[in-house]
Structure 1
Amino acid sequence: MTEAVPMADSPSAVEQADAVVVGARCAGSATAATLARAGRRVVALDSARFPSDTLSTHLLWPAGVAELSRLDALEAVTELGAPRLTKAYAAGSGHAIASEFPQVDGIDYTLCVRRSGLDHAVLRTARAAGADIREKCRVTELVWDGERCTGVRYTDSDGRPAEIRAALVIGADGRRSTVAKLAGALDPYESEPSGRNCYFAYWRDASTEWRDTAAQWRVGTDLGTAFPCDDGLLLSLVQPPAESGKLRPGDAERRYAAALDRIPPLRERLRGCEQVGRVRSATDIVSYFRRSSGPGWALPGDAGHFKDPVTAQGIRDALHYGRLLAEAVAPVLDDPVRLDRAVAAWERRRVRECREIYHWTNRLARGTDMSPLEVELYRAATGDLDLAAITTGIFSRTRRPAELYTPARMARLTAGALWHHRGDPRPVLADLAHEINATAHEFHTSCTTLRGTPPPVPPSSTGTATA
């Protein structure tokens, strides 16, 4: 897959490839598989040995499942045994919304697959496509020729130093991306701290009635979910309001149990279930956009863009934009000018396509009580199938949040909320003013920092050039 050439100042060899991918989970393997199928020589490096777990809520809406199909990985993922979730259920403030999922490329179901199996299946797909996947390899440096990235230096699985030169270095190495740091792009140009923390655990599922349902409950300021997954397990996640300070031993377990107690219908869903393993946590969550392209480098997946897990969009976007990046650059890897244009256009596309769901996700991550307008939305959706379908479609990326908040629909929701608060309309009016201000802020952000042309990385941030 790669060609070695002698390196004058080293007893080892410098390899040549068309592209090197740092990180071989969802984004990295999707990129590597697509490049390999296009006939390109691609090496993917990962510090883990697979199968390997990682912190993730790992729900795939139909759009995410469709990406697995496009990657030819769906059969391998299906063999892991996660049930098809064909029903969506959301409840809040005494109102419950039940709906089916929209079809994406003929797929009308959701999957919840633990990352150890999911990532390994996608990695095996990339390897079968012809990508050279190397595990237990840690990248230590980027190689530069002036301001252009031309490769990586890394330690291999035996701890020996090695180097690969490539037309494109793809950093698919997550939120703490080494490539982003070494490229001077680690600090986001747009970010929004979450109002929620995240705690989750697996349970041995005792229910047969709910094994086909992805369920979410909101009670007060708390949000909780129950997603049946592979091996007869259930992923139950809670997102209470964020608390400051580092977690001490036992805090995650206590906060998780306390949140479950505050969400009685989720506790009822878990009745008869046995918790398996420890509670896992994610705190100090920040959604962001980083500069994700430059001469000779690009950042798909969480390395370049991350959204709060409250809407479970990360895996779909990792697969989707990893594939799109590979499709964009595969024909032009031999032409630096066209390559730079392709990665820049890919980045602009991701920003344009993700900014609306980014704003919507941040709204759901506020960590506050359901507002009067949110309660009215739930109330209306219980009897309005189209409204319920729009809501479910937003998660699946087949509908846009703008379709939910049209002027006519907002007027009806406001009128309904005022009727139900006719004794004291002030909370509704305050909520309406808040929503107007939030919408104006989102519009301004979309027209400025998220207009689709991210600011350049300062030239000095890439460090000393080494040919």
Structure 2
Amino acid sequence: MNNYDVIVVGAGPSGSTLAKLLAGSGVRVLMLDAESFPRRKPCGESLNPGAVAALGRVAGYTNVEQAFDFPYSHLNGWRVVSGKTTLEAAYPKGDFGIGCRREVIDQWMVQQATRAGAIFEQRTRVERLIWEGDRVTGVVARSPEGRPLTIRAAIVAGSDGLRSVVARSAKVNRYGPLRKAAFTMRLNGMQGLSGKVELFTGPHGKVIGLAPIGGGQANMTVALDSNQSSALAGRERSAYVLQEARAIPELFDRLIEAEIEGEVLACGPFDRPVLPHFIEGMVLLGDAAGYYDPLTGQGIYRALRSSEIAAPALLQSLQSGRSEPIRQFVVDRNQEFAFGTKLQHFIERLNRQPLIWRSALRLVGAVPLLRNKLAEVIGDCPKEAQPCIPVMKSP
């Protein structure tokens, strides 16, 4: 393999978005992923309005639905249920999200990147970073046939998720105190689906998420404390997670005819903070840049948006040969997501205090201004058009 301007490790939403934007601006981009596409992965499989708008910007469509050629469901808001307390909210101004199979949307985004000119090598596992002093200058990887590869680039972008090899090789990520895991499945025959993401909260931080994903199917994700999920060692996984879901009274009847399609996938723990850092020649995006309990469903939006913010900075850095634009990107990204991150932590902690949690739900539900604002914030609803990505000048 030749040298590249940018190596993108991971072909999920953040990686494909960055590769598409950079390749479309004339950058030589290589995108690597250890898996064979299309591939399933643990995910709630719902995209909020901010994520849908970002897909439209990346794909170049004012109405992104014009570009979708796969089954999906419209999501017009969300519903939270805790015991006998319910809070419902609709996204404002006609904004909407979508629910769809994760492997389908990922494959669609990979196609966007390769059509723009990015080179995509799947089943190619990155093992470690290459260093020259304190600067990252490439990666050591292994081909699908097991052949070692040394690939150089001016910048390596780690978009490889919760267990990022790039972050681990740079020694900047760690496990946080929140020990939580999730089990994700697809259901046929689920009753009572609406155009909303539904969250059912229970004791000890248990959360069950439901989202229609098109074709009459639903995604169900059961999140539990890690010590609860350890019971899986002696049980069949699908029976266990259905038992946990049916323990929620409102879900019992709705699950009577439900059948799991395919494998139940596991993910966790849900707390992988990244230490403050700046490393020459390296940037982290999406979940690789830090991960926390995704109860608010904003993960894919953050992946897409972080790459939108990163692309101009990487272009400027490549053009100028200077690192300041990437340093500024880290500041800009942290500022953009600061409030949402604090809200995410606050909601997770509040959910562990059932009486306070239900009181908060009732309070928000009783004040339309609060309810509408919360829907707007959690939906990352777009306020204005984002600026175009600058085109790289010819050398």
TM-score between both structures, scaled by the size of structure 1: 0.74
Indicate the residue corresponding to 1:342 in structure 2: 325
2:363 is equivalent to residue 380 of structure 1: yes
Q: 1:364 to 1:380 in 2, by over 3 A?
A: closer
Indicate the residue corresponding to 1:47 in structure 2: 34
Return the offset for 1:119.
0.9
Return the offset for 1:278.
3.5
Query: Counterparts of 1:89 and 1:97 in 2: how far apart (Å)?
Result: 6
**Contact 1:205/1:228 (8 A) holds in 2:** no
Query: Counterparts of 1:352 and 1:302 in 2: how far apart (Å)?
Result: 16
Query: Counterparts of 1:164 and 1:88 in 2: how far apart (Å)?
Result: 45
CA deviations on 1:366-396 (whole Å, 9 max, x unpaired) are 4865444432222233333222212222311
Moved more, 344-353 or 122-131: 344-353
**Contact 2:317/2:326 (8 A) holds in 1:** no
Structure 1 runs of 4+ aligned residues shifted over 6 Å read none
2:278 is equivalent to residue 298 of structure 1: no
**Contact 1:225/1:266 (8 A) holds in 2:** no
User: RMSD of the TM alignment (CA)?
Assistant: 2.6
Unaligned runs of 5+ in 1: 1-13, 400-467
Indicate the residue corresponding to 1:133 in structure 2: 120
Query: Counterparts of 2:225 and 2:164 in 1: how far apart (Å)?
Result: 27
Q: 1:59 to 1:145 in 2, by over 3 A?
A: same
- 3-state SS of paired residue (1:111): strand
Return the offset for 1:358.
2.3
CA deviations on 1:440-467 (whole Å, 9 max, x unpaired) are xxxxxxxxxxxxxxxxxxxxxxxxxxxx
| Residues paired across the two proteins, number | 377
2:11 is equivalent to residue 24 of structure 1: yes
CA deviations on 1:396-438 (whole Å, 9 max, x unpaired) are 1359xxxxxxxxxxxxxxxxxxxxxxxxxxxxxxxxxxxxxxx
Q: 1:291 to 1:131 in 2, by over 3 A?
A: farther
Query: Counterparts of 1:180 and 1:367 in 2: how far apart (Å)?
Result: 30
- 3-state SS of paired residue (2:171): coil
Indicate the residue corresponding to 2:58 in structure 1: 71
Q: 1:248 to 1:219 in 2, by over 3 A?
A: closer
AA in 2 matched with 1:269 = R
Moved more, 371-380 or 176-185: 371-380
Indicate the residue corresponding to 1:98 in structure 2: 88
Query: Counterparts of 1:262 and 1:68 in 2: how far apart (Å)?
Result: 37
AA in 1 matched with 2:101 = R
Return the offset for 1:344.
1.5
Query: Counterparts of 2:374 and 2:78 in 1: how far apart (Å)?
Result: 10
AA in 1 matched with 2:326 = V
Q: 1:206 to 1:302 in 2, by over 3 A?
A: closer
**Contact 1:77/1:121 (8 A) holds in 2:** no
Higher relative contact order (CA closer than 8 Å, sequence separation 6+): 2
Indicate the residue corresponding to 1:227 in structure 2: 211
Return the offset for 1:108.
1.1
Q: 1:244 to 1:229 in 2, by over 3 A?
A: closer
For residue 237 of structure 1, the aligned residue among 213, 216, 221 is 221
Moved more, 390-399 or 28-37: 390-399
Return the offset for 1:157.
3.1
Where does 1:326-365 land on structure 2 (aligned, <5 Å)?
Answer: 326-337=311-322, 340-365=323-348
Moved more, 172-181 or 26-35: 172-181
Q: 1:94 to 1:55 in 2, by over 3 A?
A: same
For residue 315 of structure 1, the aligned residue among 293, 296, 300 is 300
TM-score between both structures, scaled by the size of structure 2: 0.86
2:100 is equivalent to residue 108 of structure 1: no
Return the offset for 1:192.
4.2
Query: Counterparts of 1:230 and 1:199 in 2: how far apart (Å)?
Result: 20
Unaligned runs of 5+ in 2: 383-395
Where does 1:265-304 land on structure 2 (aligned, <5 Å)?
Answer: 265-291=250-276, 293-304=278-289
Return the offset for 1:153.
2.8
**Percent of residue pairs identical:** 24
- 3-state SS of paired residue (2:167): helix
From the CA coordinates, give the structure whose radius of gyration is larger.
1
CA deviations on 1:351-374 (whole Å, 9 max, x unpaired) are 223233223223333486544443
Indicate the residue corresponding to 2:142 in structure 1: 155
Moved more, 301-310 or 233-242: 233-242
Return the offset for 1:327.
1.9
2:170 is equivalent to residue 183 of structure 1: yes
**Contact 2:8/2:19 (8 A) holds in 1:** yes
- 3-state SS of paired residue (1:365): helix
Return the offset for 1:97.
2.3
**Contact 2:13/2:303 (8 A) holds in 1:** yes
Query: Counterparts of 1:77 and 1:270 in 2: how far apart (Å)?
Result: 33
Query: Counterparts of 1:176 and 1:206 in 2: how far apart (Å)?
Result: 32
- 3-state SS of paired residue (1:71): helix
Return the offset for 1:298.
0.7
Return the offset for 1:229.
0.5
2:249 is equivalent to residue 261 of structure 1: no
**Contact 1:203/1:273 (8 A) holds in 2:** yes
Indicate the residue corresponding to 2:181 in structure 1: 197
Indicate the residue corresponding to 1:392 in structure 2: 375
Q: 1:233 to 1:292 in 2, by over 3 A?
A: farther
Indicate the residue corresponding to 1:324 in structure 2: 309
- 3-state SS of paired residue (2:295): helix
Query: Counterparts of 1:396 and 1:182 in 2: how far apart (Å)?
Result: 33
**Contact 2:42/2:183 (8 A) holds in 1:** no
- 3-state SS of paired residue (2:227): coil
- 3-state SS of paired residue (1:320): helix
Query: Counterparts of 1:155 and 1:197 in 2: how far apart (Å)?
Result: 30
CA deviations on 1:159-186 (whole Å, 9 max, x unpaired) are 3333332211111111221212222323
Query: Counterparts of 1:335 and 1:275 in 2: how far apart (Å)?
Result: 53
